[in-house]
Amino acid sequence: MLNNQFKKKPRILCLHGHASSGKIFKEDMKNWPEIVLEKMDLVFLDAPFPTENSSLIGRFDPPYYEWFQDNEDHTVYKNFDQAVAYIEDHMIKWGPFDGVLGVSQGSTMTAALPGMQREGVAFTRVPKVKFLILISAYKLGGKTFSAPELAKNAFSSPIDIRSLHIIGEKDPTKCCNFELLESFVNPTVLYHRGGHGVPNGLDENGVKIVLGFLNKIQTVLSEKENMSCETSSPCCHYFDLVRSLFSRKRWTSMKNARIENVA
């Protein structure tokens, strides 16, 4: 069967950290091994709100963006609802997406997404996400970060989807990462020797953990696609091949992973 020769790559929306950008996030991800990147179809989104105060000045050129603004003790949030609506609009435009990958402020948005979807307060116009990859993520409504009104019940019950949590051993905020872990059912955890943010490459154990996680996702997605195709016309297999070939030309390639920045 033609369709079985092609394993579906999970299509993943990528949300950068505070005062960063989709372009910068993409550059950071280039440090990951090709054997990992080739398993993913990555789409990088710029946050809606420009900001000039960035720790990346000197390392990366502007522009820089943020998803929302909060006060020093993380009890008051501004523009959170607008950011959620913005992300959902782009998920409709560029999706459907199988999962979401976030780092720092972007991963905080990512972690709350399934709960808001479950509660029916946001992301109701897009399919339910099947998995999350969370790098240096915080829990909204936890001990350190209060929850915006829209996300107040996001963690009212355990998040029962596949999740990979990437935590830096030198991250000064890793206690917040540990707190978030408790809100997920059977999370997969990867520790690296770095600090806050995207790890600068993956060691042998890191590659093993990430590939194991992605292979499980890929198997589930391919099985569902094959089952769907078996109930449809035989032409389905032909169109799957055409779509695959067309996609390779349509999207920008980086280390064999399809990666695109969207505004």
Mean pLDDT of 59-81: 92
For the beta sheet containing 257-262, the strands, ordered from the edge strand earlier in sequence to the opposite edge, are 188-192, 162-168, 131-135, 99-103, 11-15, 41-45, 257-262, 253-254
- The pLDDT mean for the chain works out to 86
| Among 41-55, 193-207, 231-245, 247-261, the least confident range | 247-261
Closest CA to 111 of 96, 83, 131: 131
Taking a C-beta distance cutoff of 8 angstroms, is the pair 3, 226 a contact?
Answer: yes
Given a cut of 50, whether residue 251 has pLDDT beyond it is: no
- At 262 the pLDDT is 56
At a CB cut-off of 8 Å and minimum separation 6, what does 130 contact? 10, 98, 99, 161, 162, 217, 220, 221
Place of tokens 């829990």: 139
Cis status, amide bond into 50, omega within 30 of 0: no
pLDDT grade, residue 227 (50/70/90)? low
- The first and second tokens of residue 29, run together, are 């991800």
Given a cut of 90, whether residue 53 has pLDDT beyond it is: no
Per residue in 15-24, pLDDT (tens digit) is 999 999 999 9
Given a cut of 60, whether residue 62 has pLDDT beyond it is: yes
- At 242 the pLDDT is 42
Domain that holds residue 80: 2-262
Looking at the chain, the whole-number percentage of residues with pLDDT higher than 70 is: 82
- At 58 the pLDDT is 67
Q: Which residue has the higher pLDDT, 238 or 223?
A: 223
Residue 44's φ and ψ, nearest 5 degrees, are -100, 130
- At 52 the pLDDT is 83
| Beta strands 64-66 and 69-70, pairing class | unpaired
Mean pLDDT of 144-152: 95
Closest CA to 164 of 212, 230, 98: 212
Give the separation between CA 160 and CA 9, rounded to whole angstroms: 22
Mean pLDDT of 139-156: 95
Q: Which residue has the higher pLDDT, 219 or 6?
A: 219
Q: Report the SS3 class of residue 252.
A: coil
Rg (C-alpha) for the chain, rounded Å, is 18
Closest CA to 70 of 135, 136, 140: 140
- The first and second tokens of residue 166, run together, are 């990437």
User: What total of structural domains would you count in the chain?
Assistant: 1
Given a cut of 90, whether residue 239 has pLDDT beyond it is: no
* DSSP letter (8 states) at residue 132: E
- At 244 the pLDDT is 45
Give the separation between CA 3 and CA 224, rounded to whole angstroms: 12
**CATH number, position 225:** 3.40.50.1820
- At 223 the pLDDT is 77
pLDDT grade, residue 257 (50/70/90)? very low
- Stretch (H or E) spanning 191: strand 188-192
